[in-house]
């Protein structure tokens, strides 16, 4: 009997999340200017990273669906986009919680924030399109194209954060990480933990999506 990978994944996720929480709220030193509110960063940035990965995964699923016509890849694309929108929503929320005490406002029309909001709207639109498509293969293909095209905004977010920033500092450069060692460790732990959360969520959502496809096929056959 083949052993399910969910058990080891759940164990690794639990350990990684405990280390990430310890790093963010205990181990990392307090930032001198922002104080403890800066600790949101150790959640905010990993959430943003996972959101980008999820949207890339959705785009890849769309590419594979267009190339093969296999419904499984359509499920992969839709599942990744769903999780990506969830993480992107959390990015916007945590960013606002960070911004209010630090910048004095919940939101500002900084190019980085605007391009990220556009990214959120793009993939919310994709989910609406995919839900409306149902079993229509032609509309599903159109939704796949939308998922692929939407990913173009991801490098725009990165470029705006690096070159058009008004408020956010650049943390990573080609020479160093602009963080103290304890902060860098907390950030790395957060990146690992939230990446594992994504793996667990997207695996579960894909399995559920494939079951939905099989149920729909059985209903169509019985009709």
3-state secondary structure 29-70: CCECCCEHHHHHHHHHHHHHHHHHHHHHHHHHHHHHHHHHCC
Half-sphere exposure of 200 (CA within 13 A, CB side): 17
Q: What does the pLDDT look like over 110-149, one tens digit per residue?
A: 888 888 999 999 999 999 988 887 777 888 888 899 899 9
Which are the contacts of 166, defined by CB distance < 8 A and separation ≥ 6? Answer: 108, 110, 111
Q: What does the pLDDT look like over 159-209, one tens digit per residue?
A: 777 666 555 555 655 455 667 888 889 999 999 999 999 999 999 999 998
Q: What does the pLDDT look like over 144-169, one tens digit per residue?
A: 998 999 998 888 887 777 666 555 55
> Can you list the domains of the chain with their CATH numbers?
10-27+35-168+178-222 (1.20.120)
pTM, two decimals, is: 0.86
Mean pLDDT value across the chain: 86
């Amino acid at each position: 009997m083949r052993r399910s990978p969910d058990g080891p994944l759940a164990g690794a996720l639990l350990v990684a999340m405990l280390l990430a929480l310890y790093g963010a709220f205990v181990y990392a030193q307090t930032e001198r200017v922002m104080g403890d509110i800066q600790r949101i960063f150790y959640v905010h940035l990993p959430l943003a990273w996972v959101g980008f990965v999820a949207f890339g995964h959705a785009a890849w699923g769309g590419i594979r669906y267009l190339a093969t016509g296999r419904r499984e890849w359509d499920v992969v694309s839709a599942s990744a986009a769903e999780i990506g929108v969830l993480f992107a929503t959390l990015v916007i929320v945590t960013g606002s919680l960070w911004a209010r005490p630090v910048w004095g406002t919940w939101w500002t029309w900084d190019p980085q924030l605007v391009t990220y909001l556009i990214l959120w709207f793009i993939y919310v639109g994709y989910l609406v399109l995919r839900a409306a498509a149902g079993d229509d293969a032609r509309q599903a293909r159109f939704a796949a194209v939308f998922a692929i095209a939407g990913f173009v905004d991801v490098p725009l977010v990165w470029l705006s954060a690096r070159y058009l920033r008004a408020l956010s500092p650049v943390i990573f450069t080609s020479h160093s990480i602009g963080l103290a060692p304890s902060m860098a460790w907390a950030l790395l732990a957060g990146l690992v933990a939230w990446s594992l959360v994504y793996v667990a969520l997207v695996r579960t959502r894909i399995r559920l999506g494939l079951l939905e496809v099989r149920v729909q096929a059985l209903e169509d056959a019985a009709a």
